[in-house]
């Protein structure tokens, strides 16, 4: 029964009769118009980027970005893939870091969040505050850097790309809020059956939290995927450079050098398609995520509900 209900809720098949159909229709119209508008606003800049990444640099300088390439060129991509082995390695590092980091991070986030949302856990507010406090005050870059480099000695190790981002208070708290919508009765009855807290978490709570896990998992994965800052600070070994940093370095070196040349009085001239390169980088970095996205998406776009599971 409730499974059928789920379908009905998430689908948009008109149901009932008379005035109910009108409000359904109205909502459908509003929905399509509003969402279409948003989608258009979101997709046009991206099309602009794709097109510009395939345009000759000179034409971009002349005409600005255009939705349709005025002079087709793959120069930017050729330049990006000039050292294909490096590029593949960078993809490899990013994928490995993202996969490991997301798995570990998601598990720890969920575990922490679960404890914090347990209403019978005496110190939940205190621990919440203990975690939350770190988002308000920070000692800044230098001591954090010293910690990681001098005490933990993580410099130039793959783990430095994973560890500092393993947990994020924001994700923990959002996760906690999602989990608190799981009826307490589930924990209670399991406890009566003699299950331990950890087992309840693994066997009951995790399966019930799929939309939350998918969402937070996505966020964690995106954070790992897009991170270049940790690599910037801690990685100098070229074999450990993740994709985003590799790309950032390529572009940054060109821009940064122009500025330095002026200050130092040095004379070096370069011819680099900076504009189209920037655009191509966006595509190269986003592509794989867009391909993987639909697989995660189904968890939060489609109804998986407590009711359905209970029924």
Subset of 83-142 contacting other proteins (CB under 8 A): 108, 111-112, 114-115, 118-119, 121-123, 125-132, 134-142
The token pair that represents 69 in the structure block:
């390439």
Is residue 157 part of the contact set for other proteins (CB under 8 A)? Answer: no
Handedness of CA 121, 127, 129, 132 (dihedral sign): negative
- The whole-angstrom separation of Cα 140 and Cα 138 is 5
Instruction: Name the segment binding other proteins (CB under 8 A); options: 70-78, 90-98, 184-192, 231-239.
Output: 231-239
Residue closer to other proteins by CB (options 188, 255) is: 255
Shortest Cβ 187–other proteins spacing (Å): 11
- Name which position in 55, 73, 94, 215 contacts other proteins (CB under 8 A): 215
Which residue, 222, 197, 255, 230, is CA-closest to 105? Answer: 222
Is there binding between residue 195 and other proteins (CB under 8 A)? no
Binding of residue 170 to other proteins (CB under 8 A): yes
Site for other proteins contains 159 (CB under 8 A): no
According to CB under 8 A, which one of 76, 248, 276, 284 is a site residue for other proteins? 248
Among 219, 227, 240, 243, binds other proteins (CB under 8 A): 219
Phi and psi at residue 72, in whole multiples of 5°?
A: -70, 135
Least Å distance, CB 74 to other proteins, is 19
CA distances from 106 to 48, 171, 191 (A): 35, 9, 24
> What span, in angstroms and rounded, lies between the C-alpha atoms of 260 and 274?
17
Total residues contacting other proteins by CB under 8 A comes to 147
Asked whether position 262 contacts other proteins by CB under 8 A, the answer is: yes
**Distance (Å) of CA 301 to CA 38, 151, 215, 305:** 17, 44, 10, 12
Site for other proteins in 40-69 (CB under 8 A): 41-43, 45-46, 48-49, 57-58, 61-65
Residue reference for tokens 């783990």: 159
């Amino acid at each position: 029964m409730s499974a059928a209900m789920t379908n009905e809720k998430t689908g948009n098949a008109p149901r009932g009769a008379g005035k109910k159909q009108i409000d359904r229709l109205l909502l459908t119209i509003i929905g399509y118009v509003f969402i279409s508008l948003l989608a258009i606003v979101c997709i046009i800049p991206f099309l602009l980027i794709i097109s510009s990444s395939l345009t000759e640099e000179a034409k971009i300088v002349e005409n600005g970005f255009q939705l349709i390439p005025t002079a087709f060129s793959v120069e930017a991509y050729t330049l990006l893939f000039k050292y294909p082995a490096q590029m593949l390695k960078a993809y490899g590092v990013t994928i490995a870091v993202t996969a490991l980091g997301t798995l570990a991070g998601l598990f720890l986030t969920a575990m922490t969040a679960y404890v914090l949302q347990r209403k019978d856990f005496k110190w939940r507010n205190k621990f919440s505050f203990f975690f939350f406090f770190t988002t308000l005050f920070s000692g800044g870059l230098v001591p954090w850097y010293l910690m990681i480099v001098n005490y933990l000695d993580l410099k130039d190790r793959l783990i430095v790309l994973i560890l500092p981002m393993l947990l994020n208070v924001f994700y923990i708290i959002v996760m906690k809020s999602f989990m608190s919508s799981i009826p307490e009765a589930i924990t209670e009855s399991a406890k009566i059956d003699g299950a331990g807290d950890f087992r309840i978490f693994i066997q009951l709570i995790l399966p019930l939290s799929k939309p939350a896990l998918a969402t937070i998992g996505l966020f964690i994965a995106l954070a790992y995927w897009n991170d270049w800052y940790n690599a910037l600070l801690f990685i100098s070994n070229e074999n450990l450079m993740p994709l985003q940093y590799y790309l950032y370095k390529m572009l940054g070196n060109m821009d940064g050098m122009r500025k330095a040349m002026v200050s130092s009085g040095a004379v070096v001239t370069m011819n680099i398609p900076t504009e189209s390169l920037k655009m191509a980088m966006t595509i190269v970095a986003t592509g794989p995520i867009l391909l993987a996205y639909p697989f995660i998406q189904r968890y939060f776009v489609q109804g998986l509900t407590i009711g359905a599971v209970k029924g």
